[in-house]
Amino acid sequence: MAKVRIVTDSTADLPKELVEKYSITVVPLKVFFGTQCFIDGVDLSAAEFNNRLVASKELPTTSQPSPTEFIEYYRPLVDDGADIVSIHISAQMSGTLQSAQLAKTMLNYDGLEVVDSRGVSVALGMLVLAAARAAEAGRSRAEVLTLVQDIIADHRVYFMVDTLEYLQRGGRIGKAHAFLGTILNVKPVCTILDGVINPYEKVRGRKKAINRLVQLFSEQYRDAGPLFCFITHGNDPEGLQYLQGLVQEKLECQEILHSQMGSVVVTHAGPGFLGIVVCPQKYMQV
């Protein structure tokens, strides 16, 4: 049976040590400040990017990898005869998935399967990590694909932002929703449904909004048993620490991971982002 290899893109926001541990192939997106191009996760540290983002009068733009770039990353795996599961940011948020699908057509390789995660950041990273663990344990491509689809159907993601301005400016959310988040210190709590960002509710005050994130999971996974939790932040290590403490106290998380979001996701979500994705731990154990 051919070895299964996992491919994703840089919006998965996976810590470098996990990428290396499970030999995950990461295809990077790009960020542009004017005509200056940076490779996501390569050319700018998180601190450098956030400083530029806050100081910039214009929002940077982002760009997905081309099909040719995907082929460059797929080719060594194809030459090795591997089965490939390529899992990417929601097609509703980026053209990255379409580029991967075009690359598959150009390669004409039957061992390659492209999957729409219907998520981004740690919601995508969670799927990629589960798939990589299953692949390392010797599961077949069909088994890995079934696992990924099971998690897509059985997870929740909630996040909060300081402002919806970045999502609105990047075209990820409507102007009317963005306006609602600008008044009375309201912090929007959002979720992702069918690959699309949706406002969930408005909470007054940042700390209350962070508490609400954990409360939502506590209500929805009350009798679910051990959980897997993956937390991320834009540029708020103190908020991350506070959120992680609440998760440890309030949720039955058997495993808690955390990461800092990369430049592409922060471009569209803003540096004040805090988010968490949760699924039953059974999916992460092979």
Q: Which CATH number fits domain 4-29+64-153: 3.40.640.10, 3.30.750.210, 3.40.50.10170, 3.40.920.10?
A: 3.40.50.10170
When pLDDT is averaged across residues 236-248 and rounded to a whole number, the result is: 95
**Is the whole-model pTM more than 0.85?**
yes
When pLDDT is averaged across residues 196-214 and rounded to a whole number, the result is: 91
The answer, yes or no, to whether residue 251 has pLDDT greater than 60, is yes
User: What per-residue confidence (pLDDT) applies to 34?
Assistant: 87
CATH architecture assigned to 156-284: 2-Layer Sandwich (3.30)
pLDDT band with cut points at 50, 70 and 90 for residue 216? very high
Averaged confidence pLDDT in the chain: 90
Tens of pLDDT along 120-166? 999 999 999 999 999 999 999 999 999 999 999 999 999 998 776 66
User: What per-residue confidence (pLDDT) applies to 175?
Assistant: 44
User: What per-residue confidence (pLDDT) applies to 166?
Assistant: 64
pLDDT band with cut points at 50, 70 and 90 for residue 256? very high
DSSP string for residues in 123-187? HHHHHHHHHHHHHHTT--HHHHHHHHHHHHHS-EEEEE-S-SHHHHHTTSS-HHHHHHTTSTTEE
The answer, yes or no, to whether residue 173 has pLDDT greater than 60, is no
| Structure-token pair, residue 216 | 């939502």
The answer, yes or no, to whether residue 181 has pLDDT greater than 60, is no
Q: Where are the domains of the chain?
A: 4-29+64-153, 156-284
User: What per-residue confidence (pLDDT) applies to 13?
Assistant: 94
What percentage of the chain carries pLDDT values higher than 70?
Answer: 92
Q: Identify whether the C-beta of residue 116 lies closer than 8 Å to the C-beta of residue 11.
A: no
Helix/strand/coil percent split, the chain, to 5: 45, 25, 30
